[in-house]
Structure 1
C-alpha cells in the first residue's frame, strides 16, 4: 500500500474529482466514458478512476467521489457503517465502494434494466442469487433503513455522520466479524488517542509523546467506551446482530496498529488459540520494545509485516525491526513473521500459529461468534 494520490492527472478540460455534465458538457463527458477516462457512479456523477492502480485505490476514489456527490446534491440520509468509519479517521478491512446511508424510508429495491450503452444487460429480476448479490454490492449508494436518532448524529466536513459510539455499535452488529473487528479496533484507537503521531517509532527515545506512555489513560477511555456501547446493546436484546456485536466489542482493543494485526488476533480467537497481547512490551535497562502480538508467559511473539511499515525509509525501518527481533530473541522469545498474504490465507496463518505456539495454547474454547459466514460453513 502506498501513499500516492488515487487519481492520475486528467486532461485540463476535465476537473480532477467529481465530474458533472454541466461542468464539461455532454460531448466531452461521453468521450471520457468511451475512452475509459471517466467512470459513471450515479446519475450525472462521474469520476476519474485509473485502471492502472490497485483495486482498493479504485474503490477509494469512487467512495470519495460519492461523498462529494452526497454533499453537493444534499442527499437524504445519515452516513453509516464503513463510510462513517473512514470519516472518523478509522480503518476498514476492505475499502468500501458504495456509500452507506441510513434513510427513513424503505428503498424501492434494485432496478437494473438494459441501457442504451449496454442493451444486453439482463434486468435484475433475471439475475441469479450470486449475480444479484454482486450487482447490489456494486451500487454506488447502499441505503439502510435502521433508525438513527438525532443524538447519534455528528457533522464532519458538512456531512451528517453517526457518532463514534453509534458507528462502533452498527459495525459490530451489521458487518461480518472480520470487517467488524477491524472497524471497531480502529475507532477505539481514534477515540482513545491510541494512534501514534505520524512518524513516531513506538520504540523510539524517551521524551517523545507516545501512546504507550499513556497506556493507563487510554485503556480507561477505551473501557468506558466499551461499557457504553455494551449498555446500548442491552437495550436491543433479541434484535439482529446483538450476540455477534457483544463478541466483537468484548474482543476489541485500541492497541491494534493495522487491520492485519486485528485479523491475526481474530484468527486466534475463532480457532481456540490463547488470546495474544497486542503491542506487548519488552522493557530492558536501555529501551522498551513492542511486539505486534505476544504471549508473555509462553515467550512467543508474532510480527505482522505490512507494507505500511516500510512506506517511509524502508531501510531504517528494517534495521530497527531486525534489532528488535534480536532483543526479543536474547530474552528467550521465539518469533514468527507474518506477511499480509499469510494473514489473508487463514489456513496458512493458523498453521504458522500452531507451529509457533505449544499445543496447550491451541486448545482453548473458540469464540464462535467471531467466525465469518464462510468459517461457520466450514465448521
Structure 2
C-alpha cells in the first residue's frame, strides 16, 4: 500500500492537502492521483476511491461479508478501512468470476442463509488476522458498544484452534470496553507491546470543585496519557477548556503527557521512550489534598 493511501486509510478515507503534506511528499500525492489510488473530491481535499459494496461482493462469491468489512457493517470502530470488500466462502470453493473485486477468506463453517459473519465471529476473525493494534481497536469497540461481553470473548477465543488462535487469545485478554476511541486503543496497544504496565483506561479524577477523565492513567505514579485527535481540539473554546483542565490536573499532582495522532500512528518509539522517561523520574507517590481518585469498574464492556 502506498504511503499516501495508508495515510488516507488512517484518516477514515479523506484528508486535506495540508494534512497529507505534513506526512508524505508532494510527489506521493501526485503519484496517487496519476495511478487512481486516490482522487480529488474538492479543492485541496483528497479521498480514497469508492469501495465496492461488500454485500454485493459476498453475493457474487456465494459467501459472507467478513473480517474488517463485517466490522464496519456491525458499526464497530476500525483503524483502517478495507481497500476492498472482505468475504469468507466455504473451504474448497474457488473464486468466482466477477467484476467486483474482493479479498477472499476460506472457512469450514459458512452459513448459506446469512449475509455477514456474526459479531463475535467478526471480532475473532479480525483478532486472528489483523495487526495487534488494529484487532484491539475492533475488539475494544465491540465491547464498548455492548455487542458482546468480555467473558464471552475470552471463552470463545480460548476454544479456537488453528492459525491465528494464539493471536486471538491475546487480543481477547487485552480488550477493554472502556477505551473510547480507536486512537486510545492504539495508544494502549503500544503500552502493551512495550511491556509497560499500570495504566488504566478512563481514570476519573474528582473532588468537590473539579472532575475530569483521563484516557489512560497510572494511579500509582499519577501519570496521565491522552491521545489527542485534532477534531476534538480544533477551536478556541476547546483550547481554553483543555488548558484549564491541564492546569487543574497538574494542581492535583498529575503529570499529563499528550500525544497527537501523528505521534501515536507514526512515531511509536518516541511515545514509548517519553512514557518510560516520565515513569523513571516519578517519585511513585503524591499527597493530593482534597482529591479522590475514582476508577471505573475493571470489567470491560
- Do both share a fold (TM > 0.5)? yes
Alignment equivalent of 1:186, drawn from 141, 156, 173: 141
Residue 196 of structure 1 corresponds to: none
The structure having more radius of gyration, on CA atoms, is 1
Alignment equivalent of 1:62, drawn from 50, 55, 63: 50
| Residue 103 of structure 2 is aligned to residue 142 of structure 1 | yes
Q: Once the two structures are superposed, what CA deviation does each residue of 1:88-147 show, in whole Å capped at 9, x if it has no partner?
A: 111212121011101014465799xxxxxxxxxxxxxxxxxxxxxxxxxxx930110023
3-state DSSP class of the match of 1:103? strand
Q: Kindly state the Cα deviation for residue 280 of structure 1 after the two structures are TM-superposed.
A: 0.9
Residue 275 to residue 252, structure 1, CA distance change in 2 (3 Å): farther
TM superposition score normalised by structure 1: 0.58
Q: Kindly state the Cα deviation for residue 332 of structure 1 after the two structures are TM-superposed.
A: 0.4
Inter-partner Cα distance in structure 1 for 2:105 and 2:155:
23
3-state DSSP class of the match of 1:179? helix
Q: Once the two structures are superposed, what CA deviation does each residue of 1:5-44 show, in whole Å capped at 9, x if it has no partner?
A: 96xxxxxxxxxxxxxxxxxxxxxxxxxxxxx89979xxxx
3-state DSSP class of the match of 2:205? strand
Inter-partner Cα distance in structure 2 for 1:56 and 1:279:
34
Q: How does 1:118-197 map to 2 (within 5 A)?
A: 140-150=101-111, 160-191=115-146
1:80, 1:167 within 8 Å by CA — same for their partners in 2?
yes
Alignment equivalent of 2:169, drawn from 238, 241, 246: 246
3-state DSSP class of the match of 1:328? helix
Residue 228 of structure 1 corresponds to: 152
Provide the alpha-carbon RMSD of the alignment.
Answer: 3.6
Alignment equivalent of 2:255, drawn from 322, 334, 350: 334
Give unpaired runs (5+ residues) of structure 2. Answer: 1-7, 15-32, 284-301
Alignment length, in residue pairs? 253
3-state DSSP class of the match of 1:83? helix
Inter-partner Cα distance in structure 1 for 2:46 and 2:127:
22
TM superposition score normalised by structure 2: 0.72
Q: Kindly state the Cα deviation for residue 355 of structure 1 after the two structures are TM-superposed.
A: 2.1
3-state DSSP class of the match of 1:257? coil
